Structure 1
């Protein structure tokens, strides 16, 4: 299963659409918050599931602040991260991940790419598709789950 991960589009939903038009074989779309309205620019059919959570710049109360989904027998915890003080470290989100017994944590908010495995839990931030703060290009992520194995990579957004 191939999961496209986006966060922090901040008015640049067309970038998500461009990636989805260029990358083949995506089964799931995950949006880790901030400007869900940008997904109005995205063709959302053809995915097994589209999962989106509310960020600190989303004011749509219909979106959850966090969500747990199962994809290919792996549990993913998706949150924007601001409500877990992610800018100050993984401690709070790590304890929540353990409490939920998840395999993967997807978050955004920092606008910086991040990947780390800790005690069997993969922590993944795709970075920002529009306004990166890590000195790198705008980015997105792909997580693949095949036969119980998880691989995760960051990709530069290229106009």
Structure 2
């Protein structure tokens, strides 16, 4: 599975349209990890799996979701209700409970990727309001995962790959 993961646009709908246009023919799925500040019936969500963040006030967004794409199970949430600002243990517990291969989250505006018992845990950072690697103007990630590896390529706000942030993990 190859997926684009983005989070925390805080009203910047244009960047979501740009991301969809640039990656729509190269990825299998788009995951949006909350805090868009858009409504749940916005047409953009027809192409993205989206969850509700702490700044999304439309109750029609799910708080979390589990999706299976090309045989890979993804647990997705914003993370604010799981205390991700203090660590990812509760997120990992929830994701492991549904046998997820990946756990995607947002909220902290800080990019991060690691493995937890064979599961990729990823925060793409914020594409619009980064708190880490601010020199890139924001970040999102493309994840390619199979039975043996998880490859993470972070992209800047201009959707250019950032080679020094590239990570490959063994599963």
Q: Is the TM value for this pair above 0.5?
A: yes
Which residue number in structure 1 is paired with residue 123 of structure 2? 125
> Secondary structure at 1:115's aligned position in 2?
strand
How far apart are 1:116 and its partner, in Å? 0.3
TM-score, normalization by structure 1: 0.87
How far apart are 1:115 and its partner, in Å? 0.3
Which residue number in structure 1 is paired with residue 30 of structure 2? 29
- After superposition, residues 1-159 of structure 1 pair within 5 angstroms as 1-23=1-23, 24-35=25-36, 37=38, 40=42, 42=44, 50-136=48-134, 137=136, 138-146=138-146, 149-158=149-158
The runs of 5 or more residues in structure 2 that have no matched partner are 160-171
Q: For the Cα contact (< 8 Å) 2:82–2:90, is it kept in 1?
A: yes
2-side partners of 1:21 and 1:13: how far apart? 13
Q: For the Cα contact (< 8 Å) 1:9–1:38, is it kept in 2?
A: no
Greater shift after overlay, 12-21 or 83-92?
12-21
Figure out how many residues of one structure are paired with residues of the other and give that number: 155
How far apart are 1:146 and its partner, in Å? 4.8
Deviations along 1:81-135, whole A, 9 cap, x unmatched? 1011000011111211221211100000000110001111110011101000013
The runs of 5 or more residues in structure 1 that have no matched partner are none
TM-score, normalization by structure 2: 0.81
Structure 1 stretches of 4+ with a deviation exceeding 6 A read none
How far apart are 1:149 and its partner, in Å? 4.2
Q: For the Cα contact (< 8 Å) 1:126–1:140, is it kept in 2?
A: yes
| Aligned residues: CA RMSD | 2.2
